[in-house]
Amino acid sequence: MSDVPARDREVVAGAIFRGGRLLLAQRTSPPALAGRWELPGGKVEEFETPQAALARELREELAVEVRCGARIGVDVQLSAGLVLRAYRAELVSGEPVALDHAQLAWVDAEELLSMDLVDNDRAWIPELLEELRAL
């Protein structure tokens, strides 16, 4: 046993803005989250940076290349040892397609408020709205 507390494992999610809209993706799993909308992303692997993980996840899930930008919104504790963080993601190449989700949607500020977002991602609504309304 070590006296050093383990760092939280991180789940990264990407906020892609374009033309005054934000990209949301509709989950297919687990059953409790299927049908609900999220910022796409996933777990950071061991020895991987959050930035590299975001690029890998969005490549796997959306078939795009992104540049990971600044953090946006608060840290969301998912469970003991697992923390969810959102980052801005700038599209470098490719057009997002739903490889892992049911469908994608580009939403404006009003539409964001009407989407059935997963509970964890609702924590970021203030910053996402602020950004959308400034665009």
Residue tagged 């309304």 (tokens): 133
The rounded distance, in Å, linking the Cα atoms of 92 and 63 is 11
Nearest approach, Cβ of 57 to Mg ion (angstroms)? 6
Reduce the DSSP state of residue 30 to 3 states and report it.
Answer: coil
User: Is residue 41 close enough to count as binding ligand 9L3 by CB under 6 A?
Assistant: yes
Query: Cα(111)–Cα(96) distance, rounded to whole angstroms?
Result: 19
CB of 112 to Mg ion, least distance (A): 19
Residue from 23, 84, 91, 132 in contact with ligand 9L3 (CB under 6 A):
84
Contact flag: residue 69 with Mg ion (CB under 5 A): no
- Work out whether 118 is an interface residue with ligand 9L3 (CB under 6 A): yes
- Cα four-point dihedral sign 132, 40, 51, 67: negative
Q: CA 82, 26, 65, 53: dihedral to nearest 10 degrees?
A: 10
Q: Which of 9, 21, 36, 43 binds ligand 9L3 (CB under 6 A)?
A: 43
Q: Is 121 in the site for ligand 9L3 (CB under 6 A)?
A: yes
**Would you tell me which residues interact with ligand 9L3 (CB under 6 A)?**
11, 13, 38-43, 78, 84, 118, 120-121
